Amino acid sequence: MLDKQQRKNADTRLRIITESEDGPAIIKDVPVSFDPTFRRFGLRKIKDCYVEIDKPDSTADMVSAEHDPMAELR
């Protein structure tokens, strides 16, 4: 198991789920009934994959000092 510092420096792994007619997996999350006491869900076929997001070397790369969103309101 990763300690706190290792998790902070680790790359992020994101799961992408897309609907697909020929998907190998089935998930039960399509609302069929909206009755809160007896809600039912239908099935749909999905594909999933994972994407690795590299952690930037520093947060300075992510923040631009030139951008001021409040300038539009002045």
Domain that holds residue 48: 21-54
9 occurs within a structural domain: no
Question: Is position 25 within any domain?
Answer: yes
Residue 30 lies in a domain: yes
For residue 60, what pLDDT is reported? Answer: 57
Is 42 part of a structural domain of the chain?
A: yes
pLDDT tens digits for 22-63?
989 999 999 999 998 999 999 999 999 999 988 766 555 556
Number of structural domains found in the chain: 1
- pLDDT on residue 20: 92
The CB-based long-range contact list for 20-27 (8 Å cut-off, 24+ gap) reads 20/45, 20/46, 20/47, 21/45, 23/47
The pLDDT assigned to 49 comes to 93
Read off the tokens for 34.
């909206």
